[in-house]
Amino acid sequence: MRLSALASLVLLPASVFGQSSSASASASAGAGGNETAATNPQAYLQAVLAALTQANLTSLVGVATGIANTTEGLALLTSLSVGNKTVFAPSNTAFANVSEDVSSNTTLLTQILSYHILNNTYLPAGVATAPNHTIARSLLRGGGYSLPGNFSAPLVLGKNSTNGTSFEINQASDNVSTTGPVGAANLQVYIIDEVLTLPPTIGQVATTLFPSLAGVIGQTGLLDPLSASQGVTIFAPNDAAILGVTQALGQLNSTQISTILANHVINGTVAYSNQLASANYTSAAGQPFTFTSNSTGTFVSSGGSIARVVQSDVIVSNGVIHIIDGVLVNPGANPEAAASAYSSATAAAATSVEATTPVTATSTAAPSGTGGPATTSGAASSAGQVVSSKGLVGGLVGFVSILGTAIMGGGLLLL
């Protein structure tokens, strides 16, 4: 892979829609319960829409009705009707802020709605208390959101630490809290005040935040290997970490930098924080990772370097990013081991089974909103899940400047 791709790993700032809504949680179940889209699609849809209307979720009703005639919309509706589902329903205010190019695109709307639906019953009491969090699978899969094993894109959920009836949905730019639920047929509907942002792609991240580099990135295909990976785990150093080693990295040639960056990536495997300790992972450069946990957090090591995970489980379209507080300065490479790990990951994905019940992850998150260097004591308990995009951008700028140096030096070599 072209390792400089790592340079562009930053999250798109999510658009913030809407503010507050007084949508009430008092509507009662509106459907008989045993209609399904398979046996009586019209009756099922009408029952669900009636319950949503009663909860004043009229914009959502409009969106759902608008996609019900499309192939993707019908498929979603069919999935929705099978088994219990948990729905995060954006309020009217939230939808009012959706732009025309989104609201007129039924494919995109269907993807967005899919990402608001969990494939089971989830209760705030059944997920980890924030800032710890739970990985919950949505119905969004395929069409640019392909994960190994055809798994769906997950949401990251916590229980509000002061209000046990409210979820916190963790996004890159903010946490979204819920009210409800409202029952509707087989659905438990929690109301939210913004439309959730689809997981960004690595390409979107790069070209949005670094328009000046878009040309270079396009020409060199720099991001292609990472973007094309069907499943990737990235340990992305934060800005303070980058600043700390910029000078040292400047002494290295582009091959060495590329190798170091590859030692921050697991190729072919999406390992959420709860999975880090449960297997032996090999980097895209073929070096082993080691994970340890103690009272101050979870640590990742590669070669002689160790860094603390300051923000776990930041979801991107083809994988996950964990933000770390140091650069893993491991110049070691073993291409055979890298290829072998990738083959094993691909084989494992073919037989893996997606969880449809809550999977709890223990977050070791950054101090809320700072994006700065993590404090080394007590941070795990004082942490918030919000990632400061400013901090990430700062880190990325650092990586990009290193990348720029590598480009100038004629580097960007494949492993």
Structure tokens at 171: 């996004």
Contact 239, 391 (CB under 8 A): yes
Question: Given candidates 356, 375, 401, 405, which one binds ligand NAG under the rule CB under 6 A?
Answer: 356
Among residues 6, 10, 23, 136, the one that binds ligand NAG under rule CB under 6 A: 23
User: H helices of 55-200, where?
Assistant: 58-67, 71-81, 92-96, 100-103, 106-114
Q: How far is the CB of 323 from ligand NAG (least distance, A)?
A: 18
Rounded to 5°, the CA angle 328-333-338 comes to 100
- 365 counts as binding ligand NAG under rule CB under 6 A: no
CA–CA distance, 293 with 297 (Å, rounded to integer): 6
CA distance 59 to 64: 9
Residue from the set 139, 156, 270, 276 that interacts with ligand NAG by CB under 6 A: 139
Reading the block at residue 281, the tokens are 């992972």
Residue 108 lies near ligand NAG (rule: CB under 6 A): yes
Q: Which long-range contacts (CB under 8 A, 24 or more apart) does 99-108 make?
A: 103/63, 106/66, 106/67, 106/70, 106/72, 106/73, 107/70, 107/72, 107/143
Closest to ligand NAG by CB, 205 or 240 = 205
Nearer to ligand NAG by Cβ, of 8 and 56: the residue is 56
CB 91 within 8 A of CB 18: yes
Q: Is 301 in the site for ligand NAG (CB under 6 A)?
A: no
Residue partners of 216: CB distance under 8 A and separation at least 6: 222, 407
Site for ligand NAG contains 110 (CB under 6 A): no
Instruction: Report, in Å, the least distance between residue 308 CB and ligand NAG.
Output: 15
| DSSP string computed for 264-327 | TEEES----GGGGGGS--B-TTSPBPEEEEETTEEEEEETTEEEEEEEEEEEETTEEEEEESS-
Residues 147-166 within binding reach of ligand NAG (CB under 6 A):
152, 160-163, 165-166
User: Per-residue contact track with ligand NAG, 261 to 300, x per CB under 6 A?
Assistant: ----x-xx---------xxx---x----------------
Residue 71 makes contact with ligand NAG by CB under 6 A: no
Q: Which is nearer to ligand NAG, 247 or 280 (CB)?
A: 280
Q: Is 91 helix (H, G, I), strand (E, B) or coil?
A: coil
74 binds ligand NAG (CB under 6 A): no
d(CA 59, CA 127) in angstroms, rounded, equals 29
* Binder of ligand NAG out of 19, 34, 71, 377 (CB under 6 A): 34
Q: Which two tokens stand for residue 45?
A: 């849809």
> Could you say whether residue 179 binds ligand NAG (CB under 6 A)?
yes
Size of site (CB under 6 A) for ligand NAG? 53
Binding site for ligand NAG (CB under 6 A): 1, 22-24, 32, 34-35, 56, 65-66, 69, 79, 83-84, 92, 105, 107-108, 111, 119, 121, 129, 132, 139, 152, 160-163, 165-166, 168, 175, 177, 179, 225-226, 229, 232, 253, 255-256, 265, 267-268, 278-280, 284, 339, 342, 356, 362
